[in-house]
C-alpha cells in the first residue's frame, strides 16, 4: 500500500510539477497587490457570469430548448476564451504560484486531513482514504517538484536557448529538444530527494487510517507488544525502499551523464 500510494502520488506530482514548473519559469507574473487584485476581480467576474447564467436559465430562458441553451453557453465560453486567450499563460502562471505557495506553506498532515475530513463538508462528496492519500501526495509533491523543475530550467545556460532560437526553432521545440534534456539531468539529485521524502511522508497518512506500512506495524504491535522487532522491521523496509530509489537514480544519473 505504501508503494502504491507513493508511486501514484509521485507520478501525478511529477505531471503537476512539470507543468507548474515550466509555466512559472517562462511566464513571469509577480505576486503583487496589483496581480492579486486582478485575479480576485477575474474570479468575481467569473462567479457573477455563472450566477447570471443560472438566473437567466431559470427566468427568461425557461422555455427555450436545452440544445439552444447549451449552444448559447458554448458560444459565450468560446467568446470569453477568445477575448482573454492572451492572458491565459499569465493566469496559469499566477495560479501555479499560488498553488506552490499554499501547498509548500502547509503541513502534509493538515492537507490530508482537509481533503479527507473537510472537503466532504464543503463539496458534499467524499473519497475513500487511499484515494485521499494518493491525491494529497500528488498535490504535495507537485508543488516541490515544480520548484525543482524551475531551478533546473533556470540553471541551463541562456546561450543554448539562443542557439535554438537562432536556428528558427519554435519555443516548444527548444524546450523539448535542447533545454529539456539538459535540465532533466540536472533535476536528478533533487528529484531523488523528493521521491524519498514522499515515500517517507506516506507514513503520515496513518492519521486517516490508511493501511500503509507504519499503520500496519502499529496494528501488529497492538496485538503482540513486540515494539523492538516490529519498529525495527518497519524501519528496515523503509530503508530498503528508499535505498532502491537512491540506487535507481544513481544508475540513471550515471548512464545519462554529459561528458
Partner 1 sequence: MSIVEFKNVVKRFGDNTVLDDISLGIDAHEVVVVVGPSGSGKSTFLRCINVLETIQEGDIVVNGLSVRGTPAQVRELRREAGMVFQQFNLFPQLTALENVMFGPLHTRGVSRRQAREEAVALLAKVGLEARMEHYPGQLSGGQQQRVAIARALAIKPRLMLFDEPTSALDPELRFEVLKVMQDVAEGGMTMVVVTHEMEFARRVGTRLLFMDGGKIAEDGLPAELLSNPPSQRLREFLRHVS
Q: Residues in the site for partner 1, rule: CB under 8 A?
A: 157, 159-160, 162-163, 165-170, 173, 177-178, 181-182, 185, 258-259
DSSP 156-184: S-HHHHHHHHHTT--HHHIIIIIIHHHHH
Cα(175)–Cα(183) distance, integer angstroms: 9
Do residues 216 and 3 touch, judged by C-beta distance below 8 A? no
Q: Which is nearer to partner 1, 55 or 177 (CB)?
A: 177
Least distance to partner 1 from the beta carbon of 85, Å?
15
Looking at the Cβ atoms of 143 and 183, the one nearer to partner 1 is 183
Smallest distance from the beta carbon of 188 to partner 1, in angstroms? 13
H/E run at residue 119: helix 119-123
Least Å distance, CB 4 to partner 1, is 34
Rounded Cα gap, residues 72 and 96, in angstroms: 31
- Report the residue number, 124 or 168, with the smaller CB distance to partner 1: 168
Rg (CA), the chain: 23
Name which of 100 and 191 has its Cβ closer to partner 1.
191
Measured from the CB atom, is 142 or 164 closer to partner 1?
Answer: 164
CB of 79 to partner 1, least distance (A): 24
* Residue 211 near residue 165, CB atoms below 8 Å: no
* Least distance from partner 1 to the Cβ atom of residue 177, Å: 6
Amino acid at each position: 500500500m505504501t508503494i502504491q500510494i507513493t508511486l501514484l502520488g509521485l507520478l501525478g506530482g511529477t505531471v503537476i510539477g512539470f507543468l507548474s514548473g515550466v509555466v512559472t519559469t517562462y511566464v513571469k507574473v509577480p505576486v503583487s497587490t496589483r496581480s492579486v487584485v486582478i485575479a480576485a476581480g477575474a474570479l468575481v467576474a467569473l462567479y457573477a457570469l455563472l450566477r447570471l447564467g443560472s438566473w437567466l436559465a431559470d427566468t427568461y430562458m425557461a422555455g427555450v430548448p436545452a440544445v439552444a441553451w447549451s449552444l448559447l453557453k458554448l458560444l459565450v465560453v468560446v467568446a470569453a476564451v477568445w477575448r482573454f486567450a492572451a492572458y491565459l499563460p499569465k493566469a496559469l502562471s499566477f495560479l501555479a504560484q499560488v498553488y506552490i505557495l499554499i501547498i509548500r506553506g502547509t503541513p502534509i498532515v493538515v492537507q490530508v486531513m482537509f481533503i479527507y475530513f473537510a472537503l466532504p463538508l464543503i463539496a458534499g462528496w467524499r473519497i475513500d482514504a487511499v484515494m485521499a492519500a494518493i491525491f494529497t501526495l500528488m498535490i504535495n509533491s507537485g508543488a516541490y517538484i515544480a520548484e525543482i523543475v524551475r531551478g533546473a530550467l533556470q540553471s541551463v545556460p541562456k546561450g543554448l536557448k539562443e542557439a535554438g532560437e537562432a536556428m528558427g526553432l519554435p519555443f516548444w521545440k527548444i524546450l523539448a529538444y535542447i533545454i529539456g534534456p539538459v535540465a532533466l539531468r540536472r533535476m536528478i539529485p533533487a528529484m531523488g530527494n523528493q521521491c524519498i521524502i514522499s515515500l517517507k511522508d506516506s507514513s503520515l497518512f496513518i492519521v486517516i487510517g490508511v493501511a500503509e506500512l507504519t499503520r500496519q506495524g502499529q496494528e501488529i504491535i497492538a496485538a503482540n507488544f513486540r515494539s523492538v522487532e516490529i519498529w525495527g522491521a518497519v524501519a528496515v523496509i523503509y530503508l530498503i525502499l528508499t535505498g532502491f530509489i537512491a540506487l535507481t537514480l544513481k544508475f540513471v544519473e550515471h548512464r545519462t551523464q554529459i561528458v
